[in-house]
Amino acid sequence: MTIPIRLPPFFLMMLVSLAAARGARAFNTAAFLQRVALTSHKNVRPRPTSVVREMCGLVAAVHDVWSPTSQKGEQEAIFDPDVLHATSQILHHRGPDGMQIHYNENFGMGHTRLAIVDPENRKADMPFQLEFDDVTIHLAANGEIYNHEVLYAQIEDPYPLLSHSDCEVIGHVYNKYGGPKAVTMLDGMFAFVIFEEVDGEIKQAFAARDPVGIKPLYYGKTRQGSYMFASELKALVGHVDPATVVNVPAGHYWTPEEGLVCYYNPDWLRKDDYAPWKDPGHSVTDDEIRAAFTKAVQKRMMADVEYGFFLSGGIDSCVVAHDLLPLYRKAREEAGDFRPINTYTVGMANSPDVMAAKAMVEALGGSKYINHHVREFTPDEVFELIPKIVYHMETYEAELIRSAIPNWLLAERAAQDVKMVLTGEGSDELFAGYLYFQDANNSTQIQDELRRIYGMLGNINLHRTDRMTMAHGLEARVPFLDTEFTRLVMSVDPARKMVDPEAVKNNSRGREKTLLRELFQGPNENGHSIPRPVLWRAKAMQCEGVGEDWVSILQNKIASLVSDEEMERAHITYPNNTPHTKEELYYRRIFDEHFHGMEHVINLWEGGGRAMGAAWKSEMYTREGLKNVNLLSHALQEKNVQRRVPERPRSMSSAERAAKEACLAAKAVGYDDFEALLTSGGDDRSLINVETGTNKYHIRPQPVDPLHVFRGSCTGNPPTLRGYSAARKLYDNVLAGCVEDSLDQRLRDVFEDQRNRLKDLLNLPEGSEVILCPSGSDAEYIPLAIARTLHPDAKITNGATQLREVGAGSAPASVGKYFSTHTPLGGKLSEEMEYLTGFEGIDGLAVSAREKDGSVVDSSKAMEEFTESALAHGKFPIVHGVFGGKTGLRDSTMPPSLDGGDKSLGVVDACQGRFTPEELQEWLDQDSLVLFTASKFYQAPPFCGAVIIPTTLANKLRKAPAPTPSDFLGVDGLGGFLTDKEMPPCFECWNPMLSQKHANNIGLALRWEAGLKAMEALGAIDDMERRKAADDWATKVTDLVSRESLLDPWCVERTIVSIRVAKSDGKGHLKMNELRDLYRWMSMDVSGSIPDATPQEKLVLSKPAYIGQPVDVSENHGIVRIALGVESLISYFNNRNETLEGDRRVIRKLAAIAKHFDTLKRSEVNAPLVSVTAR
């Protein structure tokens, strides 16, 4: 019986690193999954399944019950729902729309869906479980079946469909005709796996890949002998014996009895003597070929979502555009939709592709019908993409990786707008499109060579197209490789495909692909023709057409990273498919880091390149690519472009240097540009340690594995998936690629938008204002600066409360001191710098939160006495109240600003963000400044702060003169933390002194975007309902903690539960130095360091959990904290049981570490070596 599951509604990270080293183990679904009862229903019916919605790749595994020597042993790890779920998530990049798993003791099947057809129907999510009387078909498929409606209609007495998914028909046809016949009936691109279940047992397994290899499929055997299938190699890593991995060839199916069987056997491909053109009765007209292509394009328009096409400016993509646009316009006009279609081009400025594509757009009617996007790039930019591209490409074939780089950029850009694109792939393999064909001796060689390179499409061109598009959740369709169109073209006399070398030189008739050019040189149905310079331009592989010289620049840079000694030893290091160049070795090195032992799966071009395997010798290409790139230039490119004498480079601003320092550290361990910027524009707490790959809070600028539990919102947060996606969208769509002046203005607009959104979310009264600042500690400087502005001659004194309960930087910042080794916009400080310039001479009082025994100090009373004393001595007091310290502790009174700020400033430190709208309004009504962050409860990455200015004070600041001395707003003063962009209009008198050209805190904008997205999500829930949910959570978690003998819920404040941890020998409680170890171990897999742990303990010890940092509350002990953040509150509001299961796991791990603390201490458990996931 299949056990359907309901998984927690995690927001999934872009890539999950699976710890499969746990090995196979039995699993207990009751501990973390809700069992759903199966219901009986006649005919086909859906069984209840997971409701986690994610993505389009497949994972499937089944016991080998067919082998005579096979026997079930220990439970396969991949059949564990926890492991199956995580493994399926590894393929999440293949689409953002749905995910499900099915499993029992005999098989596991996971599917991540990119929804193109019937996208809103959740019943269209796979794996399908289709019941046909006495058999259940379990189906996971990747691809599109264009004739699904025709196939279903021809089945006599069909079973009802569950959905309108085109892939569901695979199961129906399989049930009707059997696998070998069914697969030959499918028209489309696909890879699928079927497990056939009868009476609770798997009786048959069947897998297949489409005729051309457009969609990928691999399989291997686990060490226990089970078969495992996946869309990509990365999902097999850690599960199967690498030596057993097989790339299912195009046009093949697999069964356990027969192994791989070729089912796609057209005469033109399989018969060496195929030559129908020699038969006088054979006739294929140009009109028939054109009609077949139009039909191929039309069927690939099947979609219920927005789509576009890749327009490289080469003849292939232009032919697709030539036929597609009339069909697209007609379909849209019939629907009353006149929006233009999106097209995408990638290349360097003035490159052959970019200029030809622009000409094609104009020829097809321009912007009225086409929304054309050009992604320009530089050689330096793409170099940093190589490790990520090799990871996603799963190859080390140099020619393929070169062409994948611009393909990555193209797909990345297109995925911002559409979910599907049409491309011109495959034309060269049908029409003899590569330049080396000019050296062929006769037409027989042409035909044989086309058959050879067609057979490699699934390993080369289509492999690249699938991986680079699906890496961004984008589907690519290839009309040229329609099987009927291919049959017609390959039955044409290959003499029409011969290439004249002189015509290649002259860009004229007779050059490569002349047949194709002649077929489509006339106007389309709209009367538009392909421009002659485009129609007759040279064939350029994508890595060539995007820019004639960038490949050589790239290769030279790579060569500097590979030593001569490495090359000399390459045959020893890599005996299989030994690299011949430094470029090849560099790619191989990266591949081996991810897919060691799977190098045999990669099918390389014979001789190191496509042209080297031909039956004739050609000098056109070497292993490094096209010899003469000047052949690619055409008349549409700008000739003799006047080169500007480069301006003398300006010196970097301090802000740019600071951001660069932060980014270099992050990128050194593998984070991308966006993730690196998330760590910039802060202080030393946010910087990445290159040894661990984490910041001071042991977290990364990436979402945590959704199988790990995060309850550390009171400390520092990794980005949630919601926040990460929002921030990345801001970066990709608004900030990436901006230079200097344009970035200044864009960031100014972004911060203004964010301030306005924050005001709306907090329902701030009219006239109040918001300052955005890098952290809550930095926010402490703002009251000092306001006091100096409004009372320039006053002696300022500052009273701070809850020492040790607020951030360690708050106390020094409250008297104008630096609290970190770095400033957000100035970078690393020199050691002698103690005070911000202009902030010297401020004194103050800092009151501890607790007595030595942990009892609470009456801070409010201390502040009343402080205020009276300050006023009596002619000083201007700034008076603090803390509304939620590290343990959630709240001062009894929140201080007002006396006489509207004329006598004193009241400051409410509400940085934890755990307050109600009514409480905030009360503080503003008494003219208090409010310090707030989105990087605690709202789970933005560390850090992003704000100061809320009440209306009374904002009005006074609007009228205030410029403060003196002006240098207190310079880069060594407040200008090291803020620019005028983060300031609201009421600080007009500050802005000229804060204004710094090229000082842009991009990291702060990205972090605030993440925080605001969380606030907006929570805003959709009624305030009273979420308060009830939070209170209920605290009560239940307190009860869970109380059940553990070594744990004590020492303090509970709103959504923070502070826990005292007893020593296992009964001699007191853990103190701060011990809790710091515990805190670190919580975020690690420490199961292997405790040999005597029970199986249940090892399970919880293996899964990282993130909690709040220890707090020193007493001389006898410290505490650690479990804190509810916005995402877990939303999760709790939606499904309390699932959220509490996460809390239960955290508490059990805390208890297990407490029990085995001495063992862990003796084992000297250290933080794992840095391993950054490619995203």
Distance CA 131, CA 198 (A): 10
Q: Is the dihedral of CA 358, 360, 361, 363 positive or negative?
A: positive
For residues 216 and 350, what is the distance between their CA atoms, to the nearest angstrom? Answer: 35
Answer yes or no: are the C-beta atoms of 285 and 334 closer than 8 Å. Answer: no
Contact 516, 317 (CB under 8 A): no
* DSSP-derived secondary structure letter, 857: P
Cβ-Cβ contacts under 8 Å for 496 (sequence gap 6 or more)? 514, 515
What pairing do the DSSP bridges indicate for beta strands 945-949 and 769-773? antiparallel
Q: How many residues comprise the chain? A: 1175
CA–CA gap between residue 549 and residue 220 (Å, rounded): 41
Cβ atoms of 799 and 810 closer than 8 Å? no
- How does 169-194 read in b/e, with b if 16+ C-beta sit within 10 Å? bbbbbbbbeebeebbebbbbbbbbbb
Distance between CA atoms of 390 and 404, rounded to whole angstroms?
A: 9
What's the burial of 646, exposed, middle or buried (CB within 10 Å: 0-12/13-18/19+)? exposed
The yes-or-no answer on residue 262 being catalytic is no
CB 348 within 8 A of CB 540: no
Distance CA 489, CA 450 (A): 11
Query: What letter represents residue 648's amino acid?
Result: R
Say how far apart CA 382 and CA 390 lie, in whole Å. Answer: 13
DSSP state, residue 649: P
817: helix, strand or coil = strand
Rounded to the nearest 5°, which phi and psi values hold at 418? -135, 170
Q: Where are the beta strands (DSSP E) in 842-914?
A: 843-848, 875-882, 905-909
Q: Using CA atoms, how far apart are residues 900 and 954, in angstroms rounded to an integer?
A: 10
H or E stretch including 505? helix 501-506
Token pair 């019908």 is at which residue?
369
DSSP 240: B
Angle of helix 550-559 versus helix 582-595 axis, rounded to 10: 70
Strand partners, 190: 143
| Integer Cα distance of 534 and 632 in angstroms | 11
Task: Give CA–CA dist 699/490, Å, rounded.
Answer: 57
Quote the CA–CA distance of 526 and 510 in Å, as a whole number.
28
Cβ atoms within 10 Å, residue 1073: 9
Say if residues 1118 and 1111 touch (Cβ distance below 8 Å): yes
DSSP-H helix ranges across 250-339: 267-270, 286-299, 315-334
User: Could you tell me which of 940, 932, 894 has the C-alpha nearest to residue 913?
Assistant: 932
Catalytic residue among 56, 167, 714, 773: 56
The set of catalytic residues is 56
